[in-house]
Amino acid sequence: MDPNRDLVTQLVNADPGLPRPNPTQSYWQHVPHALANAQSATLPTERDYVIIGSGITGLSVAKNLLERHPTATVSVLEARTLCSGATGRNGGQMAANVGEEYSYLADTHGPEMAGKIVSFTFRNLEKMHDFIREYDAVEASEMQKLHKLRAFLTEDTFLDFKKSIARLESDHPSWKGFYKILEKDDIIKDHGIHGAAGGCLLPAGTVWPYRLVTKVFAALMAKYPDRLTIETSTPVTAVEHESSSVFPYTVRTPRGPVTTRNVVYCTNGHTGHLIPKLRGRIHPFKGTMTVQDPQTEVPNRGETTSWGFHYPINYDPATKESGHGLYYLGQSVKTGYFYLGGENARIEHVVTADDSFVTKNSVKHLQSVLPKFFGSATPEWNLVSAWSGIMGFSSDGVPVIGQLSESLTGRAGQGEWIAAAFNGYGMANCLLSGEALVSMILKDRESDWLPGAYTLSEKRLRETLTAPESIKALTAKL
């Protein structure tokens, strides 16, 4: 009996429940949008599409359905306030992890598919910049197009990274030179970052996701007042199916039922609550974020640089806390504040869907590491804000996009769809995943750029998207 394994097994298979009604306050949401509590006077019914979840994925699905279907009626049902899930509580990084993950992706999905995943994520990031411009949200969302400096804090992590990039460049020569490798001395001299064994620079960006998503929802509400409704404080508690009806699905909420032709789950780490057969295959993963004020100690580089700090995953048997291997960091051009996230906590505080508290040790840890990266003698900078948020992780490290089969839902009918489990990299995946899902729903367009590994095949459900694979991956960290 391995107690860690037993605990992980219990955690990944647990019902994540509904989004908690009393989440921690995210700095991004400290000025709520006018639509934060939007809802119709009476819950509408007989909808063509009900989308569950109002994060960036729900937004992308809603936008594509409304734009590409001339008459579709759409209701977005959200348990809490608008955009109050991971999208409203993340790190604001528009960056991809596919370089350092390439070896894993190639081993798991094959080199050809791994190359497709790399292309997809960078295409999605480009699309994010276009999308922000299209909705005139550059200023509101404080979007920056910049370079991300990935710093590797040990020789081994740097070596693994270089091997991964070498393999990417050898399998797919068009990516040659995209990642600019930096040696230790360059990182201190040119970038003022201390303690790295080496690193790289790659194109990336930063954004205020809450402001972006709420602004676009407002634009959609203005453009489609007769076809779109947003229903916040409307948790979906169950979905039922009645084959003989024109609107065969009944979506249950405390405000009453909504009947619909299709249900689209954009429920991220909470998906397993409504689709129990996906528990364990997709599990919640709680992240911690801080905003820290360096005052005048370091220059403001928010316009040119964001940062990621990679270290070996570690476990302390005395405290039972794990360091999950990454800190991610951006800086506000306006205030100079640093936005730093990372996980250093007991496994039961990480594999959980409870964002109603922050783990104090994680926050202390994030405060203690940041000044050191910039060579500051100050032990801690001022803590402006700290909060937590729930990501959705899949056992095979890639999103889950497609039609839900009867074997997963336990219901007859062809009208249940999903886009979830972005493994902490939603800004590099959600927008195009939503677009591709709508292509599947409407069958109106090819989206052959969507990596096949993201879709819901029976083979994937049998082999890689399984609870035992999640348990294996998490237990390896303990």
Which residues are at the interface with ligand FAD (CB under 6 A)?
18-19, 52-58, 77-80, 84-87, 89-93, 235-236, 266-268, 270, 273-274, 287, 289, 328, 341, 389-391, 420, 422, 424-428, 430
416-420 and 256-265 strand pairing: parallel
Q: Which is nearer to ligand FAD, 137 or 197 (CB)?
A: 137
Residue 332's φ and ψ, nearest 5 degrees, are -75, 130
Shortest Cβ 301–ligand FAD spacing (Å) = 17
Q: Which is nearer to ligand FAD, 98 or 106 (CB)?
A: 98
Shortest Cβ 189–ligand FAD spacing (Å) = 27
Please tell me the distance from the alpha carbon of residue 213 to that of residue 56, in angstroms, as a whole number.
6
Please tell me the distance from the alpha carbon of residue 268 to that of residue 464, in angstroms, as a whole number.
19
Instruction: Please choose, from the candidates 202, 194, 199, the residue with its C-alpha nearest in 3D space to the C-alpha of residue 148.
Output: 202
Shortest Cβ 86–ligand FAD spacing (Å) = 3
The DSSP code for 192 is -
Degrees to nearest 5, angle at CA 287 with 281 and 292: 165
Q: Which is nearer to ligand FAD, 267 or 352 (CB)?
A: 267
Structure tokens at 2: 């391995």
Count the neighbouring beta carbons within 10 Å of the beta carbon of residue 310: 23
Shortest Cβ 407–ligand FAD spacing (Å) = 21
Q: Which is nearer to ligand FAD, 258 or 427 (CB)?
A: 427
Please tell me the distance from the alpha carbon of residue 363 to that of residue 366, in angstroms, as a whole number.
5
Q: Which is nearer to ligand FAD, 93 or 292 (CB)?
A: 93
Shortest Cβ 335–ligand FAD spacing (Å) = 18
Q: In what helix (H) or strand (E) does residue 56 lie, and over which residues does it extend?
A: helix 56-68
Please tell me the distance from the alpha carbon of residue 275 to that of residue 430, in angstroms, as a whole number.
20
Shortest Cβ 366–ligand FAD spacing (Å) = 11
Shortest Cβ 82–ligand FAD spacing (Å) = 8
Q: Which is nearer to ligand FAD, 167 or 326 (CB)?
A: 326
Shortest Cβ 353–ligand FAD spacing (Å) = 9
Instruction: Please choose, from the candidates 76, 78, 81, 77, the residue with its C-alpha nearest in 3D space to the C-alpha of residue 22.
Output: 81
Catalogue the E-assigned strands of 188-233.
198-206, 228-231
Q: Which is nearer to ligand FAD, 93 or 214 (CB)?
A: 93
Catalogue the E-assigned strands of 38-196.
47-52, 74-77, 93-94, 144-152, 180-183
Q: Which is nearer to ligand FAD, 320 or 324 (CB)?
A: 324
